[in-house]
Every structure is written in structure tokens, then in C-alpha cells.
Amino acid sequence: MTLSALKKDLRSEASLKRAKALKWFFKTGPGEYGEGDIFLGVKVGGSREVAKKYQNLLLNDVKKLLHSKIHEERTVALLILIHKFKAGNEREKKKIFDFYLKNTKYINNWDLVDVSAHRIVGEYLNGKPKKILFKLAKSKNLWERRIAIIATFHFIKYNQFSETLKISQMLLKNEHDLIHKAVGWALREVGKRDLKEEEKFLKKYYKKMPRTMLRYAIERFPEKRRKKYLKGKI
């Protein structure tokens, strides 16, 4: 299983029409968050199949793939890393965790973060010190900030909300819409498991929240209560 064979298989899934649509969807125009990103037009399912087939690709080749200018190649690289992480022992998991954090420059769109951060960073840090997440949350890099909050989704699964709530508080004044959405999404997930915990946080901070963040956080609330939050009457 070679890198060149992987790229050939990935291109067999490509679509020019889909590539054009993805360039628009992922905001690749001048000044947009995905500026200059290149798409082949491969469906997520196609990328997953290629990653599964080439999950034993050498890490050096995965690095080359992750450093690619082509979005789907970076996607496949991250999906392969997830396969390797799941199959690895503790030493191998740490190697992949460290590799991931050294290469955040290339994990540079919301879908790339969302598919991988909780499955690698979050899972590795479960039961370990989590200072790195707070460092990432303070980063000037948009994607590192998103990695910080998305990584906590792993903890939410186990009803561990502390890091999610602390990082959400840190990101309240963040200016980027993609952070507003991620934090709101995370708070919504907390609420699915413990509504009292989410509302305790919301009652303290909802008036300070960007509107998009609040809307995401209360999306599943009963309509009457949702409107109270939106009108600032809680």
C-alpha cells in the first residue's frame, strides 16, 4: 500500500462538479477562512473508504498527505491517524497525539478539526492533565482554538463537563463565527446529558454570549424557554 496508490484511489472518487460546490461551501475565496484550499470533490464516504484501505500507511507518508494542499488528502491523513490511534498501544497513541499537535497548521478547516480532535486529542487526554487544551484555547490560530473545544466532546460522552465549561467561558468573547458555533454546539451536548449544568452556565453568561453561540446552545430547548433566552428574560 503506497502513497501514490492512495492518491490514485482517492482521485477515482473525484468529481469536478462536487469540487466546485465544496470550494464555495468551505469558503475558499480571498479573505475567507478556507482561502486557497483545493478540492478534488470526493464525498466523505469515499475518503473514509480510502483511509480504511490504507490505514497501515507509514507515518512519514501520512505526514506528506497531511501537508498536502488538497483538502481531501488532509482528510484522509487524519482518518488514517484515527485508525492508527485506535489500534495503537499507549506509546503509539502518544506518538500520534504528539504528531497531531505538531501539525495543527495543516488541520485547517472546521471539518478536519471536527472529525479528529475529540478522537485523538480528547481521547488521549482522558484521565490525564489537560493544560494543553487551555493553551490551545488561547492560541491566535483559529483552528487550534476550535481543536480545544471540540476535543472536550470526548469528555462530555462520559459526563465530564469541567473542561468544556471552562473553555467555553474562555471563548465567550472570541470574534470568529466558527468558534461561536463550536462552543454553542458543545454546550448543547452538555445539556443533552445534564440540562441543569448547561443552564447553570447559561444563566451566568448568556447575556454576554454572541448570538450564534447562544442559538446553538439552546437549539433543543422547548420553544417557550428558548424565546426567553433570546429575549434576555431568564
Average pLDDT over residues 36-57: 97
Average pLDDT over residues 153-181: 97
Residues 83, 150, single domain; the answer is no
Residues 232, 193, single domain; the answer is yes
Residues 180, 139, single domain; the answer is yes
Q: What does each C-alpha distance from 14 to 9, 29, 51, 128, 223 come to in angstroms?
A: 9, 21, 15, 41, 42
Residues 83, 101, single domain; the answer is no
Residue at which a domain ends, from 87, 122, 137: 87
Q: Is residue 60 over pLDDT 90?
A: yes
Residues 46, 130, single domain; the answer is no
Residues 25, 124, single domain; the answer is no
Q: How confident is the model at residue 83 (pLDDT cuts 50, 70, 90)?
A: very high
The C-alpha cell that represents 13 in the structure block: 472518487
pLDDT at residue 234 in the model: 85
Average pLDDT over residues 142-147: 98
Residue at which a domain ends, from 52, 87, 122: 87
Number of folded domains that form the chain:
2
pLDDT at residue 1 in the model: 79
Residues 112, 141, single domain; the answer is yes
Q: The domain containing residue 135 runs over which residues?
A: 96-234
pTM (2 d.p.): 0.95
Separation between Cα atoms, residue 111 and residue 182, nearest integer Å: 11
pLDDT at residue 116 in the model: 98
Task: Determine what percent of the chain falls in helix, strand and coil, rounding each to the nearest 5.
Answer: 70, 0, 30
Residues 161-185 as b or e (16 or more Cβ within 10 Å = b): bebbbebbebbeebeeebbbbbbbb
Residues 56, 25, single domain; the answer is yes
Q: Is residue 148 over pLDDT 90?
A: yes
Q: Is residue 147 over pLDDT 90?
A: yes
Of 76, 88, 84, the C-alpha closest to 59 is: 84
Torsion (CA) 8, 11, 12, 13 in degrees, nearest 10: 140
Residue at which a domain ends, from 87, 119, 150: 87
Residues 22, 108, single domain; the answer is no
Assign residue 38 the CATH number of its domain: 1.25.10.90
The C-alpha cell that represents 234 in the structure block: 431568564
Residues 41, 11, single domain; the answer is yes
Separation between Cα atoms, residue 143 and residue 109, nearest integer Å: 7
